[in-house]
């Protein structure tokens, strides 16, 4: 496989004479792990500015940690942060695009709606379009395949940085395809070019090609983590730790008060009730390094991925929440702090895009019925999505 960056570097004449800004992070590398900034400057592209997504250009910041404007320590280029201390910071400002002709985007996404890089792409398009600036997406494969689609779309009133556009939770698209989707179906009036990656087929997983895996964010170390993330990210919306700062983030879930054996028993029972396959559960103890219960011994369970092609990852996350809630209903709770700059809507509703999942968990309702209720959304999304696919 070849990334869009490598394809562009074969013939960069389209950028000749243009003033170029690059929205990127540390994943913007070629197969020799050379960064896009170095490669583009080496072929004469006039880079005037970098835009940094959540975690920063070099991925040194944790999740929901604001980053200020700075200079890139490697290239010396000015860096405009698109993740500061308020919601306004998520959007590029006109002053930062005034001396730019083309905005390049090169970031490895992981295929989940809550993963904020694709929201930053959409917001950049919203800013660039009215100013007459072109956006060029250097495409990369969807690492967890481009076929599987899970979940509903974000409903009106539930929009946030983890649900900025009405796409499915596990969307099965590349960032280039998402840019086309935002342009066509989300009212984003922006001129967009996509430099396609080569050699990727929709059914292929990232490890079935030969591009190097660069962890896309500080707590996304492996492809297996990325596979579990569309479901296990739901743990963020609770008072449980998702294992941040351990070697198994999003595999682990726990809290200081949980009984591991009971959690696993509840998870196995929940999985059996709703037909979840492809995973196994193990009692576990761990000490998170960051965020909830940081540096406190936690107990709970570890999710083991047994068959990535059989597991419904969103259902897995719901099963994990149901198991922990049933294991200790008195101490299980929803996140009380603001989430991605939103405080008036529960974090679980922001992640799932409506109230159905939370209400089912609170009432003891059927998780399978929640998925069935989202099926009309998924079917409609699939029809729209088909119009913008590139591979």
Range of weakest confidence among 69-83, 167-181, 215-229, 355-369: 69-83
Residue percentage of the chain with pLDDT more than 90: 93
pLDDT of amino acid 56: 80
Asked if 252 and 246 touch (Cβ cutoff 8 Å), the reply is: yes
55 confidence band (pLDDT: 50, 70, 90): confident
Domains and CATH numbers, the chain: 4-216 (3.40.50.12170), 223-354 (3.90.1150.140)
Tens-place pLDDT, residues 191-202: 999 999 999 999
**Tokens linked to 351:** 């992640």
Predicted confidence (pLDDT) at residue 62 exceeds the cutoff of 60 = no
Residues 359, 79: Cα–Cα separation, whole Å:
42
Rg (CA), the chain: 21
Predicted confidence (pLDDT) at residue 158 exceeds the cutoff of 80 = yes
- DSSP H or E run through 254: strand 252-255
Residue 160: φ, ψ to 5°: -165, -175
Sheet architecture: strand order including 279-286: 252-255, 298-305, 279-286
Q: What integer is the mean pLDDT of 77-100?
A: 95
**Tokens linked to 327:** 């294991």
Predicted confidence (pLDDT) at residue 313 exceeds the cutoff of 70 = yes
pLDDT of amino acid 61: 58
E-strand stretches of 77-213: 78-81, 102-106, 134-138, 192-195
Choose among 326, 329, 324: nearest CA to 303: 324
pLDDT of amino acid 70: 81
pLDDT of amino acid 60: 66
Q: What integer is the mean pLDDT of 10-36?
A: 97
Q: What integer is the mean pLDDT of 142-150?
A: 99
**Tokens linked to 75:** 């290239």
Q: Tell me the DSSP string of 179-234.
A: HHHHHHHS-----EEEE--BS--TT--GGGS-SPP--SSTT--SHHHHHHHHHHGG
pLDDT of amino acid 149: 99
pLDDT of amino acid 68: 67
Residue 119: φ, ψ to 5°: -65, -40
Query: For helices 313-327 and 356-363, what crossing angle results, to 10°?
Result: 30
Residue owning tokens 């074969």:
10
69 confidence band (pLDDT: 50, 70, 90): confident
Residues 316, 321: Cα–Cα separation, whole Å:
9
Predicted confidence (pLDDT) at residue 316 exceeds the cutoff of 60 = yes
DSSP 331: T
Choose among 360, 356, 338: nearest CA to 162: 338
Residues 95, 164: Cα–Cα separation, whole Å:
23
Residue owning tokens 């799932």:
352
pLDDT of amino acid 59: 63
Q: What is the mean pLDDT of the chain?
A: 96
64 confidence band (pLDDT: 50, 70, 90): low
65 confidence band (pLDDT: 50, 70, 90): low
Give the chain's count of helices (H) and strands (E). 11, 10
Predicted confidence (pLDDT) at residue 50 exceeds the cutoff of 80 = yes
Q: What integer is the mean pLDDT of 122-147?
A: 98
Q: What integer is the mean pLDDT of 331-358?
A: 97
pLDDT of amino acid 167: 99
pTM: 0.96
Q: What integer is the mean pLDDT of 28-32?
A: 98
pLDDT of amino acid 86: 93
Residue 2: φ, ψ to 5°: -130, 135
Predicted confidence (pLDDT) at residue 180 exceeds the cutoff of 60 = yes
pLDDT of amino acid 174: 99
DSSP 344: S
Asked if 26 and 60 touch (Cβ cutoff 8 Å), the reply is: no
Residue 103: φ, ψ to 5°: -110, 115
């Amino acid at each position: 496989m070849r990334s869009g960056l490598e394809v562009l570097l074969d013939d960069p004449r389209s950028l000749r004479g243009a003033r170029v800004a690059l929205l990127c992070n540390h994943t913007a590398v070629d197969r020799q792990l050379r960064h896009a900034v170095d490669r583009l400057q080496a072929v004469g592209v006039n880079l005037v500015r970098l835009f940094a997504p959540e975690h920063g250009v070099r991925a040194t910041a944790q999740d929901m940690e604001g980053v200020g404007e700075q200079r890139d320590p490697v290239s010396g280029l000015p860096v405009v942060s698109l993740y500061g201390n308020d919601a306004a910071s998520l959007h590029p400002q006109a002053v930062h695009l005034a001396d730019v002709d083309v905005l390049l985007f090169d970031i490895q996404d992981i295929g989940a709606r809550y993963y904020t890089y694709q929201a930053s792409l959409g917001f950049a398009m919203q800013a660039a379009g009215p100013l007459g600036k072109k956006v060029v997406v250097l495409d990369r494969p969807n690492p967890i395949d481009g076929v599987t689609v899970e979940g509903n779309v974000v409903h009106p009133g539930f929009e946030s940085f983890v649900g900025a556009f009405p796409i499915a939770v596990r969307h099965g698209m590349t960032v280039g395809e998402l840019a086309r989707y935002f342009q066509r179906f989300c009212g984003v009036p922006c001129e967009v070019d996509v430099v396609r990656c080569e050699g990727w087929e929709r059914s292929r997983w990232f490890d079935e090609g030969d591009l190097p895996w660069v962890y896309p964010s500080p707590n996304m170390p492996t492809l297996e983590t990325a596979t579990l993330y569309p479901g296990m990210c739901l743990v963020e919306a609770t008072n449980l730790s998702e294992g941040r700062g351990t070697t198994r983030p999003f595999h682990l879930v726990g809290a200081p008060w949980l009984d591991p054996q009971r959690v696993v028993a509840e998870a196995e029972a929940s999985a059996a009730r709703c037909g979840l396959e492809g995973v196994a559960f193990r009692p576990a103890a761990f000490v998170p390094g960051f965020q909830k219960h940081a540096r406190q011994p936690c107990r709970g369970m570890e999710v083991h991925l047994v068959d990535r092609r059989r597991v419904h990852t969103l259902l897995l996350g719901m099963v994990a929440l149901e198991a922990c809630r049933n294991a200790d209903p008195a101490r299980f709770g929803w996140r009380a702090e603001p989430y991605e700059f939103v405080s008036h809507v529960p974090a679980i509703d922001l992640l799932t895009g409506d109230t159905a999942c939370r209400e089912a968990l609170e009432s003891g309702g059927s998780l399978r019925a929640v998925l069935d209720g989202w099926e009309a959304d998924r079917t409609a999304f699939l029809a729209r999505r088909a119009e913008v696919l590139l591979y």
